[in-house]
């Protein structure tokens, strides 16, 4: 599954991507990222998430609970990015 997420500057000190691995059991590959200098701006990440359906659903629920902007949620072979 490939998703693009926006990490607001107020969350940049939080281990969001690390928690996807440790708490939700997914494998995360960072396919792209854009971060502001000195964490002054929001960050954007293109992530490839791998895991069971249950793990992926748990990870997406976690990201939604943080109220992060998400795009994608599809197979990277189909979406082209």
In the chain, domain spans: 2-74
As a dihedral over the C-alpha atoms of residue 70, residue 74, residue 80, residue 81, rounded to 10 degrees, the angle is 30
Split the chain (81 residues) into runs of 10 and give each run's mean pLDDT.
91 91 97 78 92 96 94 57 40
pLDDT for the residue 76? 44
CATH 3.30.70.260 describes domain 2-74: yes
Backbone angles phi, psi at 72, to 5 degrees: 105, -100
> Given this model, what pLDDT does residue 38 score?
63
């Amino acid at each position: 599954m490939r998703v693009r997420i926006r990490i607001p500057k107020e969350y940049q000190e939080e281990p969001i991507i690390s928690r996807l691995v440790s708490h939700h059991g997914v494998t995360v590959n960072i396919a792209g990222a854009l971060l502001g200098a000195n964490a002054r701006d929001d960050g954007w990440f293109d992530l490839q998430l791998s895991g069971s359906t249950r793990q992926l659903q748990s990870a997406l629920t976690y990201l939604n609970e943080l109220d992060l902007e998400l795009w994608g949620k599809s197979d990277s072979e189909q979406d082209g990015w």
